[in-house]
Amino acid sequence: MTQPPLVGSGDTYTGESCLTEQSRSAVTCFKTRPRSHTSALASPKLTFKTRSSSQSTIYHDKQYAAGFKLRAAVLLVLNGSVIVLSVAYIVMLELQRRQSKPPQRWWLYQFVRRSTGELLVLNSRVIIAFLGVVSACAWIWIVVESIFLFTRHQPLGASVVARAFISCPIFLHGWVAVWSVFTTYVLTNQPDRSAFLSSIPAVVFNALFIGSSIAMLLGCIATGIWNLCISYKFWGSFTALETFLLRAAATYPNNPPDAHVELEIKSRSFSEASTQALYCLKWTYAILCIPAFMTLVISLTGLLLARDLGQHIRHSKKVLARNMTQPGSRSGGSCYRPEAPWMLIEGENAHGLRTNSPTSSSKAFVLNAEELRRIAQSDSIHGTRARTIALVTKARSELLLVSAYVGIDAAALIAMMIYVATLCTNGQLARGSGFATEVSAMGAAWLCSLCLGVATIALIYNNWVHRGGTGLLGLSQNILDGDELDRKERDTLYIPSAMGVNLDVLRPERQLRDDTIHEHHRITRETTLDLSKSFALPPLDL
């Protein structure tokens, strides 16, 4: 998350535990001086006093240090795996884009025209993978310097910058992911449906996303700058105090008489910086709970949208099966096979279609994935419909994956931030606790890396199962081939070349005729009991 004192938090508040052996010996030298020269050291405000604290155990106990090194090494490997997986995901997407026919242009965002206006659509797959690489690299940098702090007791270096602004890629990553869930839902539903999201004007939809993204980014930057200033002040006072103690140890017993006064000044400055660091850490986590909670709410909403979209998909499968039994079902064009359309379905579903006459109501069933793929290989209008259902099915699967991942990650981060803020308030982090120190140091790294790694594996698997360069697949990515987003072109949702449908096993051999499309629309309107439940009917006005 953001820059707390983290690994250095505990040792800054108990003082002596974070110093090197030479620095602590310098403190002992001052304590052995006559009372007249060490009266300031007896002040209760000074934290440099000989005591065995749990925080000292954290930094100087070899057994605990070994356990910390092992956990840090595992965390480094985990973040390295996230980088490899994210790069592999980007490479897979790029290969699919280049192998698609017609080839698709590379893009990060575009405006898709609908009846409600031009909707902003992000290439969320690429953006999510890129932000995953950025956050993983930042965590590796932070963990490496944290290891040096634990093992060598040296101040944090340039990683304080990464630690201060790590919240920017984390929250933008989650926000882009959950917002693309909404665009996926809107783009896979009819513009004229009664659904609330489908009726929102595009300008309002775009303004909400852009405004919330900018507000979240500015909030993360503001807390990062605050943390960065506090961190530099804290580590500056720590370095000044340690330098003074090392110099005093080197010149002992010939230290100047007023050395204890300088020690008191530097110690008080260090103590004040420690208090400010705790205060900054507490309120930073409290503030960052707001965007995390917003992300959690929207991710839970995405799960509800996925459920609704699943109902549309099941209804459309039933409509497809019903249309294949109509008298005009063969008029949509030839198939790869000479058999009737219901011969493309096997098992109990095929038996249900054969036992019913074309004019009678078909047995209620839902096509499975293999049957849908078999129908999609047809060059008839039913194959076009099956391809559309397959595309929206993948969109829904990624919608579920992303909503679940972001929701779990956001909920875990909220719990972790509340826990650390409570530790700062009740003083447990200041008194010293191995678990509290490590949670404040690398708790967010564990949560984000685990969730991101699992989610990336799931996305790669899902993309492989539904492999191919497609137009309506994924988190609103490749909604249409960018080169074909011409406002002068009429609606061509069901024309595979305009949708960018390029799955090798689903590619039709020829383009559909206009009369075929109109015939399919007529049959569908006549046989569909409730058009409001069907997605993409009538076609999207792009």
pLDDT tens string 445-471:
899 999 999 999 999 988 887 764 443
Tell me whether strands 109-114 and 117-122 are parallel, antiparallel or unpaired.
antiparallel
pLDDT at 42: 32
| Residue 455 within any structural domain of the chain | yes
Structural domains in the chain (count)? 1
Of 130-139, 194-203, 435-444, 462-471, which range is least confident? Answer: 462-471
Is residue 104 over pLDDT 70? yes
Per cent of the chain over pLDDT 90 is 13
| Residue 491 within any structural domain of the chain | no
| Residue 526 within any structural domain of the chain | no
Of 52-61, 231-240, 262-271, which range is least confident? Answer: 52-61
Does an H or E element contain 117, and which?
strand 117-122
| Residue 348 within any structural domain of the chain | no
Find out whether 524 and 538 touch, Cβ atoms under 8 Å: no
Is residue 385 over pLDDT 80? no
The token duo for 246 is 């090392």
Find out whether 349 and 301 touch, Cβ atoms under 8 Å: no
Integer CA distances (angstroms), 291 to 164, 252, 283, 323, in order: 16, 53, 14, 47
| Residue 194 within any structural domain of the chain | yes
CATH number at residue 432: 1.20.1070
542 vs 491: CA distance, rounded Å: 6
| Residue 173 within any structural domain of the chain | yes
Find out whether 354 and 317 touch, Cβ atoms under 8 Å: no
The per-residue pLDDT for range 41-69, each reduced to its tens digit, is 333 333 333 333 444 444 555 566 677 88
pLDDT tier, 135 (very low <50, low <70, confident <90, very high otherwise) = very high
Integer CA distances (angstroms), 440 to 9, 194, 247, 419, in order: 8, 47, 32, 9
pLDDT at 146: 83
261 vs 273: CA distance, rounded Å: 19
Domain residues for the domain of 70 are 7-318+388-465
78 vs 88: CA distance, rounded Å: 15
| Residue 383 within any structural domain of the chain | no
The distance in angstroms from the start CA to the end CA of the chain is 40
Find out whether 459 and 401 touch, Cβ atoms under 8 Å: yes
Backbone torsions φ then ψ of 525, nearest 5 degrees: -65, -35
| Residue 492 within any structural domain of the chain | no
The token duo for 255 is 């230290």
